[in-house]
Structure 1
Amino acid sequence: MPGQSVKMLGTPQSLNNLSRRSMLIGMAVSGVALLASCGQGSGKVAANIAPDGKLEDRVNIYSWGDYDDPELLSDFKKKFGTIVQADAYGSNEEMIAKLAASRGTSGYDLIVPTGLMIPQMVEHRLIQELDHSLIPNLDTLDGNFTDQYFDPGNRYSVCKAWGTTGFVYDKVRHTGSYTSWSDFLDLAATEASGRTAVLEDAWEVTSIALGHLGENMNTEDAAVLRDARNLIVNDLAPHIRAYVGNAATAMSQGSFSLMQAFNGDARQGILDADDPDRWEFVFPTPSANLWMDNWCIATGAQHPDAAHKFIDWIIAEDQALVECDYIGYPTGSKVFLDTSVEEEFDLPELIFPTQEVLDRLTASEFKGMEARTNILTDAQARSGV
C-alpha cells in the first residue's frame, strides 16, 4: 500500500514493487463473529509433539476441495507408512466453525486457511505453533513467501499456494478484445447476458465494481460502496446466471460464456474443455486480488509428528512441481525462481502472472466487509439464483 514497505507474494520474477496481499475466499461477517465467540486465550499454543518422535500411522487434513494431487497423498503413505485422510470445506468460515465448535477435538491435524485469517486463529487458539526443527525444507521456500505480515517468522504457518482473480470468456461467442473490469461489466450486460457467472464471494464480486470505478478495493467510503452496490445489484445482477465457487465446474456445464474466476481454476477448466482454444483468461485492469493459502496445524492435533512431516515433504521442490501442475497455482518453493520451470507446464501464463500484472494488484485489508456482504446478498436476490 502507499507509504508502506512490505514483503509479500511473488512469481519467478522480482517482486520489489508488489504490495502485501491476501484474500478471504467465501468469508462473510459471520465468520468474524464466530471467531469472536471462540473465547479469549493467550494467543500462544505450544507445539504438540509426540514424546518419542515416532511418526504416527495417519494424518488428517481439512482443506479446500481437490487441493492436493491424490497421487502425492498415496506417495506419502508409501514412503512413510502414514495414511493421509483428506476432507474438504468450501470457505474459511466453514473451516473455522468446525474448529471452534470442536474446541481442539476436531480430529483434524492439518488445515489450510487463507493468510489473513491466521492472526485471529492464533488469538483464539485454533492453531498451534510449528516446530521448525521438524520442517527443514523451510529452507527451500522463496523468501517472498515467508515471514508474512500475518505470521512473522512463520511461527504458525507455511505457504501452500497463491493465486489471483480475473475472468474467462468464450472467444467464439465474444470476439472483441476484453482487458478490464469495465469490459467484463459491458459484456455481461450485452452479449453474455444470462450466460455470466461470478464468484460466490462478497469481496470478489464487489471488487468488479470497484475496479470499474477506479477505486481502492479496500475502501470503506460509504458513498463509493453505494456506487459499487448500484453497479453490482442494478447493472450486473440481472444478467448473472449463477454464483459459483469454481469456474472450472461452470465451464464444463456449457451454459456460460463469461465467468469471474481464480486463475488456477480457469486454467483447469480450459485444460478440461473439449475445445480449449475457445477460452481466454484475462488478468483485468486496473487491479485484482491476490491471495495466499497456508499449511497450519490445528490445536489438539492427534498426529503432530505426521503433520510436521507432511508439511516438510509436500513443500520440497519435487512435490512442489507436482502440486503446482495439479492445482494450477504456484507454491512458495524456490524451484519456481528458475523461469525455465514454466516450460514444464501447460498454459504457464495462467499459473505465473507477469511482473506487470503483479505490480498492479491490490492488498486486501478486509475492510468494510459488512457492506460487501450486503452487496452480494442483494445481488443474489436480484439475480433470483
Structure 2
Amino acid sequence: MRPTRLAITTAALALLTACGGSTTTGGGTAPAPGQTGFVPPKIDALRDLGTGEGQVNLVAWAGYAEDGTNDPKVDWVTPFEQETGCQVNTKVAGTSDEMVTLMRTGQYDAVSASGDASLRLIAAGTVAPVNTNLIPNYTDVFDGLKSKPWNSVDGVAYGVPHGRGANLLMWRTDTVKPAPDSWSVVFDPNSPYKGKVTAYDSPIYIADAAVYLMATKPDLAIKNPYALDDKQFKAAVDLLKQQKQIIGEYWSDYTKEIQSFKSGDSVVGTTWQVIVNVAKSEKAQVEAVLPKEGATGWSDTWMVATKAAHPNCAYKWLDWIISPEANAQVAEYFGEAPSNAKACEETADPKHCETFHATDETYFSKVHYWTTPIPQCLDGRTGVKCTDYAEWTRAWTEIKG
C-alpha cells in the first residue's frame, strides 16, 4: 500500500551484521573499488527489457515516490503509472537498516539505498547488477555520481544514482546565537543548549563524530569516517557518550524533528535539507549550514532486487525516476541535488541546482557519503582491522544507554 502521510518511521527494526569477508558464491576475483575487500555473488543483470508486469513494489525514503497523496501538486508517480501501466506500491523506510531488512524479505522489487545499505545489499546478493543499456536516462547522470564504491563493483553498476546531499547543522535562529558554523555546538559538554540538542538515531551517526574528530583531533589520523580502527572508533564512541549528556532526543522520524524544532524542544542538531524546507514552510525560525569541519551525507542509488517479481517495471521505474522531469521534481521536493544533469533545466526554481551544489564538486568534496563500515579499512590501510557495522550497531545501543 502507498503511505498515507509523509513520515519516516522510528528506530531501526534490527541490528544487522556487516558485509565483507566470505560472502561470495562465485564470480570474479577483483575486489570492489575503495578496497572494500569482498567479491559479490555472481548474478546476471537483466539482458532485455520486456513488457511491464503491471506493478512494482518499492522501498523508498519518504518523499522519493510521491503520488499526490501528501500534496496533490506533488506527483511524479501517477504519470509513470499512466505511461507504463506499472502500478507503484511504496513502503517508506526511515533508516538504512530498515531498508536492508525489508529487501531481505523478497517482497520488493527496488530500493532507494544510501551508501550505508548498498554494500550490504550487494554483498548479500540481495540486489543485482543493472544493465544501464536498458536505462536510456543513465547517459545524462553526472559523471561524479557514477562508478562509485557504494554503487558499483569492479566497474559494474549496481543501480542508478538518484541524487545527493549533505547532513546539515540546523538551529533555531531566535535561540542559538551567534549562528554556529561548527559541529562543536552539538558536541560541547558545557553547551548552553543542554537538553535541547538532537542527533540522528542510527549507528551511522558514529561517522558524524568521526568527521568532527578528523578536524579537531588530527593526532587520531582519521582519513575516512567509515574506516575506524579500534583507537579511532573508541574516540568517536567516547565523544558520543559525552554528547549523550546534552541530548534531548534522538530522531529518525523527520516529522517529529520538525515538530520538536517548532515547539522549541530542540534548538540545534543534525538535519536534512528537506526538514529545513518543511520547517521553514511551517514558520519555524530555523536555518542550516554545512559546518566548517565538513559533514556526512548521502548519495542514494535505486537498486533492483535479485529476485524481483516485477523486474521490467522496476527497470522502467529506474529510468523514470532519473529522467530530467521526474528527477527535477523529486530533487526540488526533497531538497537535494539531482543526479541527471538535464534536470537542472526542469526545476521550477531556476536556481535549484546552484542552491544545492549539483555541479559543485568542491562543495561535495567536504561531504563524506554514507558507506557501510567493514573490517577491510576503506581508507586503503592494510595490516589493520577496522570496525565493522556490527560493532557500530552494538556501540550505538551502548551509547544511547
Tell me the equivalent position of 2:59. Answer: 62
Tell me the equivalent position of 2:241. Answer: 233
Tell me the secondary structure at the aligned position of residue 17 of structure 2: helix
Tell me the equivalent position of 2:275. Answer: 266
CA–CA distance in 2 between the matches of 1:27 and 1:351?
A: 30
Tell me the equivalent position of 1:130. Answer: 130
Q: Tell me how far 1:256 sits from its aligned partner.
A: 1.2
The counterpart of 1:344, out of the listed 334, 347, 350, is 350
CA contact (8 A) 1:281 1:350 kept: no
Tell me the equivalent position of 1:183. Answer: 185
1:304 and 2:311 correspond: yes
1:376 and 2:396 correspond: yes
CA–CA distance in 1 between the matches of 2:227 and 2:19?
A: 24
Task: Name stretches of at least 5 consecutive residues in structure 1 with no aligned partner.
Answer: 1-25
Which residue type is aligned with residue 399 of structure 2?
A
Tell me the equivalent position of 2:16. Answer: 31
CA–CA distance in 1 between the matches of 2:43 and 2:128?
A: 5
Which residue type is aligned with residue 195 of structure 1?
K
Tell me the secondary structure at the aligned position of residue 133 of structure 1: helix
CA–CA distance in 1 between the matches of 2:240 and 2:110?
A: 37
Q: Tell me how far 1:183 sits from its aligned partner.
A: 2.8
Tell me the secondary structure at the aligned position of residue 112 of structure 1: strand
Q: Tell me how far 1:122 sits from its aligned partner.
A: 3.2
Q: TM-score, normalised by structure 2?
A: 0.74
Say which is worse superposed, 111-120 or 310-319, in terms of deviation: 111-120
CA–CA distance in 1 between the matches of 2:325 and 2:364?
A: 26
CA contact (8 A) 1:130 1:297 kept: yes
Q: Tell me how far 1:286 sits from its aligned partner.
A: 1.4
For the structure 1 residues 163 and 324, does the alpha-carbon distance in structure 2 shift closer, same or farther, using more than 3 Å as the test? same
How big is each residue's C-alpha offset from its partner over 1:104-132, in whole Å with a ceiling of 9 and x where there is no partner?
xx231111222354444334321123233
Tell me the secondary structure at the aligned position of residue 368 of structure 1: coil
CA–CA distance in 2 between the matches of 1:220 and 1:269?
A: 35
* TM-align CA RMSD: 3.3
CA–CA distance in 2 between the matches of 1:227 and 1:148?
A: 28
Which residue type is aligned with residue 107 of structure 2?
G
Identity of aligned residues (%): 18
For the structure 1 residues 355 and 175, does the alpha-carbon distance in structure 2 shift closer, same or farther, using more than 3 Å as the test? farther
How big is each residue's C-alpha offset from its partner over 1:60-94, in whole Å with a ceiling of 9 and x where there is no partner?
11222332222111111122222111112233322
Q: Tell me how far 1:358 sits from its aligned partner.
A: 2.5
CA contact (8 A) 1:40 1:124 kept: no
User: Higher helix fraction: Structure 1 or Structure 2?
Assistant: 1
For the structure 1 residues 110 and 355, does the alpha-carbon distance in structure 2 shift closer, same or farther, using more than 3 Å as the test? closer
Which residue type is aligned with residue 397 of structure 2?
T
Task: Name stretches of at least 5 consecutive residues in structure 2 with no aligned partner.
Answer: 1-10, 28-40, 68-74, 374-385
Q: Tell me how far 1:35 sits from its aligned partner.
A: 8.4
1:282 and 2:283 correspond: no
How big is each residue's C-alpha offset from its partner over 1:300-351, in whole Å with a ceiling of 9 and x where there is no partner?
212111111111122111111101111112231112567x969436796357
Larger RCO: Structure 1 or Structure 2 (Cα < 8 Å, ≥ 6 residues apart)?
1
Q: Tell me how far 1:162 sits from its aligned partner.
A: 1.4
Which residue type is aligned with residue 235 of structure 2?
D
Tell me the equivalent position of 1:91. Answer: 95
CA–CA distance in 1 between the matches of 2:182 and 2:159?
A: 34
Number of matched residues? 345
CA contact (8 A) 1:248 1:270 kept: no
CA–CA distance in 2 between the matches of 1:222 and 1:88?
A: 35
The counterpart of 1:315, out of the listed 292, 307, 322, is 322
- Equivalent positions of 1:326-365 (< 5 A) are 326-335=333-342, 343-344=349-350, 349=355, 357-362=363-368
Which residue type is aligned with residue 130 of structure 2?
L
How big is each residue's C-alpha offset from its partner over 1:137-162, in whole Å with a ceiling of 9 and x where there is no partner?
11121111112234054532110121
CA–CA distance in 2 between the matches of 1:219 and 1:55?
A: 42
Q: Tell me how far 1:199 sits from its aligned partner.
A: 0.4
CA contact (8 A) 2:296 2:367 kept: yes
Tell me the equivalent position of 1:165. Answer: 167
For the structure 1 residues 247 and 302, does the alpha-carbon distance in structure 2 shift closer, same or farther, using more than 3 Å as the test? closer
Q: Tell me how far 1:270 sits from its aligned partner.
A: 2.9
